[in-house]
Amino acid sequence: MYDPDEATAPALDGAALDRLKATLAQRGPAAAVDELIAELRKADDFQGLFYAFLMKKRIELGVSPFPTGSANELPPETHEPYEDAIRDAGRHVGALLLDRKEYAKAWAFYRMLGEPEPVREALEKFIPGPDDDVYPIIEIAWQGGLLPKKGFDLVIDRHGICSAITMVSGSDLASNPDLRDYCVGKLATALHAQLTERLTSDLAARGVILTKTATIPELVEMHPDLFADDAYHIDTSHLSSVVQMSTQLPAGPEQNCARELCAYGRKLAPNLQGTNDAPFDENYVDYLAFLNVLASEKVEEGLARFAMKAERESAEGATYAAQVYVNLLLRANRPADALVAAKKFLLAEDDRNLICPGVNELARRAGDFTALAEAAKARNDAVGFLASLIAGL
């Protein structure tokens, strides 16, 4: 349960070691190890303290005193009490470290024990001061998985939007949609606030007096001069990244922030908008249309836009736009239309290669065995074809 390679020599001076030697000679091993424990506490040598506790237990058990030896070398009858001693020592030292707010060192012990809760509870209460080094907390909370939302918050608050984008984009959050939506929502909100502040500052510098609070779409419509000479107000790579991530957000305030970011982005000079593959080849105009559908605004217009792109790309032998369209229909709560679109564009596709449910999955959901048979026939799947026909009897 512990790593002997991590053992370190106690940080005691020569005089202390001489005292230990004298105690051993005069009072025996038990007294000497108790004195060692007391000395290590005073020296704040917590790694040494952990191993001193293990030495104490080994002496009690009458086995080799070396705490870095393998537990498997001990007599079988000592295994259980020694394992208990390891847990007790780890908890004791871990608690001491938590009291000192040395979270990373405490985590090393609790992680060894497979007991994350004490550290998680401590981190939940932790409020960093302006001079505190939060990197160890971020590492435990995010990489360690103890409190990923708090880890993300510390990154965006201390290190800014760029670092937070890198953290999210470099992590696989598909299996944790709640965390993904939390992080992307915070990014959209933070970038929206940054853009709002910079737009109003730009207008103020131009002598424009805003008599009321205006949204980003209102500002950019009223003041096209904001974009003169290829001007921009926030890092365009940040804008692009956050908007693309936001396509996964559910309807709500965070998604509304992303929509306003799109309204700004579509006003940028074309060379600042970047390039994307269909169905987002028209950049922020497409992303705004997509997000509008999810927000239940301009739904028919948006769906028609993506249906057209699916049709156009399918004629060229590409189905990615159609897959996006099917997903959009499903998120707009139109499963019947999604099945129709899948049958039209994805009939012969293997479901395993798609980013959306294919004909098979959608037909099963709908109980449409005829569609299942059609899909199997298009793939020359005789077994699936006959099974679909039989299931439909």
Summarize pLDDT for 253-300 with one digit per residue, the tens: 999 999 999 999 999 999 999 899 999 999 999 999 999 999 999 999
Q: Are residues 119 and 139 in the same domain?
A: no
Q: What is the mean pLDDT of residues 152-166?
A: 96
Confidence of residue 392 (pLDDT cuts 50, 70, 90): low
Q: Which of 165, 131, 167, 132 is nearest to 151 (CA)?
A: 167
Radius of gyration for the alpha carbons in the chain, expressed in angstroms and rounded: 31
Q: Say if residue 66's pLDDT is above 80.
A: yes
Domain match, 54 and 113 both: yes
Query: Does residue 277 lie within any of the structural domains?
Result: yes
Choosing from 268, 297, 326, the residue where a domain stops is: 297
Q: Is pLDDT of 2 > 70?
A: no
| Domain ranges, residue 257 | 168-297
What are the tens digits of pLDDT across the range 24-63?
999 999 999 999 999 999 999 999 999 999 999 999 999 9
Residues 360, 367 contacting (CB under 8 angstroms): no
Count of structural domains within the chain: 4
**Does residue 163 fall inside a structural domain?**
no
Residues 183 and 143 in one domain: no
Mean pLDDT, rounded, for 318-327: 98
Q: What is the pLDDT of residue 393?
A: 63
> Using 50, 70 and 90 to split pLDDT, how confident is the model at 149?
very high
Q: What percent of the chain has pLDDT over 70?
A: 96
SS (H, E, C) the chain: CCCHHHCCCCCCCHHHHHHHHHHHHHHCHHHHHHHHHHHHHHCCCHHHHHHHHHHHHHHHHCCCCCCCCCHHHCCHHHHHHHHHHHHHHHHHHHHHHHHCCCHHHHHHHHHHHCCCHHHHHHHHHCCCCCCCCCHHHHHHHHHCCCCHHHHHHHHHHHCHHHHHHHHHHCCCCCCCHHHHHHHHHHHHHHHHHHHHHHHHHHHHHCCCCCCCCCCHHHHHHHCHHHHHHHCCCCCHHHHHHHHHHHHHCCCCHHHHHHHHHHHHHCCCCHHHHCCCCCCCCCCHHHHHHHHHHHCCCCHHHHHHHHHHHHHHHHHCCCCHHHHHHHHHHHHCCCHHHHHHHHHHHCCCCCHHHCCCCCHHHHHHHHCCHHHHHHHHHHCCCHHHHHHHHHHCC
Q: Is residue 305 included in any domain, yes or no?
A: no
- Beta-carbon contacts of 113 under 8 Å, excluding residues fewer than 6 positions away, are 1, 86, 87, 90, 91, 94
- Mean pLDDT on 307-315: 97
Position 145 in a domain: yes
Given a cut of 70, whether residue 150 has pLDDT beyond it is: yes
Q: pLDDT > 90: what percent of the chain?
A: 80
Written as six digits, the tokens of 374 are 């059609």
Q: What is the mean pLDDT of the chain?
A: 92
Whether residue 146 is found in the same domain as residue 175: no
Residues 339 and 276 in one domain: no
206 and 226 part of one domain: yes
- Cβ(292)–Cβ(299) below 8 Å: yes
Please check whether residues 200 and 274 belong to one and the same domain: yes
Q: Are residues 292 and 319 in the same domain?
A: no
